[in-house]
Amino acid sequence: MTYQAVGPGNTGDIFYFMRVLLFIALLSMGYALSQPRPAASKEQARLLPDTVGSQEQQWTGLPPWQRKASEKAIEKYAGSQEKKWQRWNEAMFERST
């Protein structure tokens, strides 16, 4: 009877090496992804304008009536979304007995 040990020095040597290499690669990738990175100016350029600039810079070319109408529409939309999520929350989590 012959016994084959699993590990370095066998015909299964390449598979052991690949498993170790994969483990090290995943470990280092997990460590690199978990580190906080400072926001660079390049990354801010890729963001939507609402998250970077103010609304005044975006609305400089609009007439005053259109600006007021837009602000009113935004407020109504935000209010309706708040009501929708409040009803959903009540339906899902605050069931009456």
Q: Tell me the mean pLDDT in the region 9-15.
A: 67
* Cβ atoms 25, 33 nearer than 8 A: no
Q: Tell me the mean pLDDT in the region 40-56.
A: 58
| pLDDT for position 52 | 47
* Cα end-to-end distance, the chain, whole Å: 71
| pLDDT for position 83 | 93
| pLDDT for position 72 | 93
| pLDDT for position 8 | 56
Q: Tell me the mean pLDDT in the region 19-40.
A: 87
12 against 86, higher pLDDT: 86
Tell me, rounded to whole angstroms, the distance of Cα 28 from its chain centroid: 21
| pLDDT for position 90 | 87
- The proportion of the chain whose per-residue pLDDT surpasses 90, expressed as a percent, equals 28
Least confident of 8-12, 24-28, 58-62: 8-12
